[in-house]
Amino acid sequence: MEKEQKILIARLILTALLFALSFFNFLGELGKLIISLVGFLIIGYDVIFKALKNIIHGKIFDERFLMLIASIGAFAIKEFHEALAVMLFYQLGEFLQDLAVDKSKDSIKKLMDIRPDYANLIFNEEIKKVHPSEVLIGAQIVVYAGEKIPLDGVIVSGTTTLDTAALTGESLPKDSKVGDTVLSGMINLSGTIYVKVLKSFSESSVSKIIELVENAENKKAKSENFITKFARIYTPIVVCLAILLCIIPPLCFGLAWNDWIHRALLFLVVSCPCALVISIPLSFFVGIGGASKKGILIKGANHIETLADVGVIGFDKTGTLTKGNFAVVKVKAIGCKEKELVKLCALAEIGQSHPIAESIVKYATGVMKIDEKQVLEQTSLAGLGIKAIINNKTIFVGNQKLMEKAGAEIVLNEDPGTTIFISEGSKFLGYIVISDEIREYSKIAISKLKALGIKQTIMLTGDKDLVAENVASQVGIDKYFAELLPQDKAKIIEEIKATEKQKIAFVGDGINDAPVLKTADIGISMGKLGSDIAIESADIALMDDNVEKIADAIKLSRKTMKVVKENLIFTIGFKLVMLVLGALGIAPMWLAIFADVGVSLLAILNSLRALKF
């Protein structure tokens, strides 16, 4: 517990004792006034200071102003107990609310407490413990059993088992060996490993995740903006109504001033919308924390609200519904020998990070030696393929559209799989067929989404129609679009948004799908286990390749919105009832304050439900 909270507890206890003492009649009216005033200053000095400071800066209509004016009014009409009770119960309520909020934030802090404190840097054949920010890209570090991996990199020596739960939400440890990628925030459970650093600390996965979760709170949902606007309009109206309540009955009907001033003050105190102001943003913040526990990173409360209303979900094919683990299954040489075809294709694709390129290079290097020096120039053509200058020959490697652009007459392939065509200028050389494997949980994910009431699932791919049809039928996709360029995907999403009148989400790998991820109402990036693109290009990032988590994200967003609506209805409804009771003089002020505190706490506790789903 922080020092400020301990001081507040002491103030609450001392004020409660003075409050009890003020009821003894032997003190007389002056004694009760002095004790109540001392207690009021002890428990309320910070509220008074902040209220006066806000008034000076033009921020008059807030809860502190209401508490201050209600207390002063109670002193004026000699209701000393109530004057002290107003401030005592208000501060007690603030203290309990802070505890509840801190509890929710602590759970998120624990979840995000994966930032490593040090790295074991290999420097001049010695191991030196340094802060991760001091380690340069390309350096080697040692990670011992039980330590957090401080920086993103690749294992160059050793084998181990990694706990990835903090990043992916997966409870099962992951076996890792030489050549495997490791990310900062993972925990080394067993053997010692040597890691070559691939990213600086500021660009590491753990830094990106923490930054994302911290910044998510700043992106307000419509419900939060509504509360802000509501409070600005609502509070001045309530103050005006309180003034009318105070003046009209005594002036027009000759009723007692004391009684109606008291009712007006009670009306002001009850009107404070603190339960709304606290509980609604907290509901979204807790929802973001609950999603993070499952390896679902949501970049803002506004995205939770939009995701809850999604009716159509689009998917990329490669690396999303399929594993992206391509393998060469057929080589068809027409204008050259088969070995030459494979060699030219591999040289053109060498150095490219796309799974198809990697599979071709892997296949070629398994049967022959590849000399990268033969590649004089290499140009990536978005949505088409690669143009390369190899031994002074212009080689095109890509899809059918690229062949048409090069003027090559091709021989079509009817086998299932992705076909890569190769030409030397306009001379067609042949094709290579690559096959991809459907993820084992893609079909389950689609069925879960349909069970949630998602009206339509679609698949957008640059692959040929035959391959797209095969994948769509196997996983249960309602509709597919094939042979698309990145800009075509964005255009189709725009058309669906216009015709279906539904919120649409798109799920992709965050690399080639950046345009369509931005076009959709919600962009969901997955795979690549925390890559820069997965963190930066979409509204929601899944920290592993499990598309089933999309259903979890939708269920969480709907639960969060249900909690928000419950809090709105409950708190506004209660306020209206208490305002009427206060105006009628039925409820005493201390009871109104106590009830208001109770409503705030119930709303906050209800908000915490979003942490578990």
- Active site (catalytic) residues: 316
Kindly list the distances between the CA atom of residue 6 and the CA atoms of 13, 39, 43, in Å, as whole numbers in the listed order: 11, 18, 13
Angle between helices 589-607 and 549-583 (to 10 degrees): 170
The closest alpha carbon to 457, from 262, 313, 249, 275, belongs to 313
Q: Determine the Cα–Cα distance for residues 276 and 596; give it in Å rounded to an integer.
A: 11
Q: Determine the Cα–Cα distance for residues 6 and 157; give it in Å rounded to an integer.
A: 51
Beta pairing class for 310-316 and 456-460? parallel
Q: Measured on CA atoms in the order 196, 198, 201, 206, is the torsion positive or negative?
A: negative
Q: Determine the Cα–Cα distance for residues 16 and 14; give it in Å rounded to an integer.
A: 5
Q: Determine the Cα–Cα distance for residues 579 and 263; give it in Å rounded to an integer.
A: 10
Q: Determine the Cα–Cα distance for residues 591 and 86; give it in Å rounded to an integer.
A: 9
Q: Determine the Cα–Cα distance for residues 564 and 607; give it in Å rounded to an integer.
A: 7
Q: In what order do the strands lie in the sheet with 327-333?
A: 327-333, 427-435, 418-424, 393-398, 385-390, 375-381
Kindly list the distances between the CA atom of residue 60 and the CA atoms of 53, 72, 264, 514, 535, in Å, as whole numbers in the listed order: 9, 16, 17, 46, 41
Angle between helices 274-293 and 589-607 (to 10 degrees): 20
The b/e string for 69-86 (b: 16+ C-beta within 10 A; e otherwise) is bbbebbbeeebbbbbbbb
Contact in structure between 328 and 356 (CB atoms under 8 Å) = no
Contact in structure between 12 and 92 (CB atoms under 8 Å) = yes
